[in-house]
Structure 1
Amino acid sequence: MREPAPIDAVDRALIDRLQGGFPICERPYAEVAGWLGIDEAELLERLGRLLATRVLTRFGPMFQVERMGGAFVLAAMAVADADWQRVRAVVDALPEVAHNYRRESDRNSAFNMWFVLATESEAGIAAAIRRIEEGSGLPVFAFPKLREYFVEMKLAVRT
């Protein structure tokens, strides 16, 4: 397992601040930087570093991708502990993957790797699944959305 990337108090405040309420204005990054007491260039450098070190896996607005012609699914795999890192690297290498996480399975399910696939089309979902299956040698099980729910989950990182 890789070591977590170090983050400081400003990084923590930045992550907390960007979980909702991003300003809609001519220079939103400058405004956020002002809230944090840093300049715009430093904010952009920090944001780039947090993304590059995968402290953050994505930064941007959330859209209902289906309304724009795209597609997404929740997907799961059953991955042996001994093969976890190799399969995780295969899955994480695809830009279509978000929210890849390990979930302890219960006695009714062997699925322990869960992730979201988001693509520009239904065909893109099938292609991403095919690439993961070919790269991992394991089947991917896709669970399409049946109902829409709004879950405003914010994770505080301040200590």
Structure 2
Amino acid sequence: MTELEPLDLALIENFQHGMPICARPYAAIAQTLGCTEQDVLDRIAALTQRGVLSRVGPVFEHRRAGASTLAALSVPPTQLDAVAARVSAHPAVNHNYQRDHAWNLWFVLTAADPEALATALSDIAAATGLEPISLPMQRGFHIDLGFSLRPFLPEPA
């Protein structure tokens, strides 16, 4: 595990499952952690820059808020990094990842409605020159993607 400061660990441990819902959530986090709002913002920026955090934001039930799909592209290996960057740049893309398969770049898209989702898939095809396959969810399963960092937190003084 990458070396993290105690504030980094406490920030991730305490807020990976639930941001405060208020006008100034980072100030509320800071109050809980005993630091300043600017400290929280600086730590999040540093952790994102280092690649420790990839995203700070809500996770929601997509069927209540629009449309989404899992999609994949078959990308020539020499073009994978460039194509992944183009896919990641699209605002409808939540994340993407490489798989060891003929369809080697997988990504999740979320849009306001099925028409906007179709447009996003068309945009990605145009930007990459590759035709994505769309694999919409048939049945959902909740998977908690949080990981406890308590073993890495310093003992209270």
TM-score range, shorter chain: 0.7 to 0.9
Unaligned runs of 5+ in 1: 1-5
- Structure 1: how far apart are the matches of 2:94 and 2:149? 20
Matched, 1:58 2:61: no
- Aligned amino acid, residue 72 of structure 1: S
What's the counterpart of residue 36 of structure 1?
33
- Identify the match of residue 71 of structure 1 among 64, 67, 71: 67
Asked if the contact 2:72–2:107 (Cα under 8 Å) also holds between the matched residues in 1, the reply is yes
Instruction: Give the match's secondary structure for 1:135.
Output: helix
Asked if the contact 1:98–1:116 (Cα under 8 Å) also holds between the matched residues in 2, the reply is yes
Matched, 1:85 2:81: yes
- Aligned amino acid, residue 36 of structure 1: L
1:1-159 aligned at under 5 Å gives the runs: 8-9=4-5, 10-24=7-21, 27-51=24-48, 55-68=52-65, 70-105=66-101, 110-156=102-148
- Structure 2: how far apart are the matches of 1:99 and 1:157? 23
TM-score by length of 1: 0.78
- Structure 2: how far apart are the matches of 1:127 and 1:50? 33
Aligned length: 149
| Identity fraction in percent | 38
Query: Residue by residue, what CA displacement relative to the aligned partner does 1:20-74 show, whole Å, maximum 9, x if unpaired?
Result: 0333456542332234332112212333454566643432222222223x10001
Give the alignment's Cα RMSD to 1 decimal. 2.5
Deviation, 1:129, is 0.9
- Structure 2: how far apart are the matches of 1:134 and 1:156? 41
TM-score by length of 2: 0.79
- Aligned amino acid, residue 61 of structure 2: Q
- Structure 2: how far apart are the matches of 1:91 and 1:78? 13
Instruction: Give the match's secondary structure for 2:95.
Output: strand
Query: Residue by residue, what CA displacement relative to the aligned partner does 1:75-126 show, whole Å, maximum 9, x if unpaired?
Result: 1111122111110111011111112111222xxxx11211100011111111
- Structure 1: how far apart are the matches of 2:52 and 2:133? 27
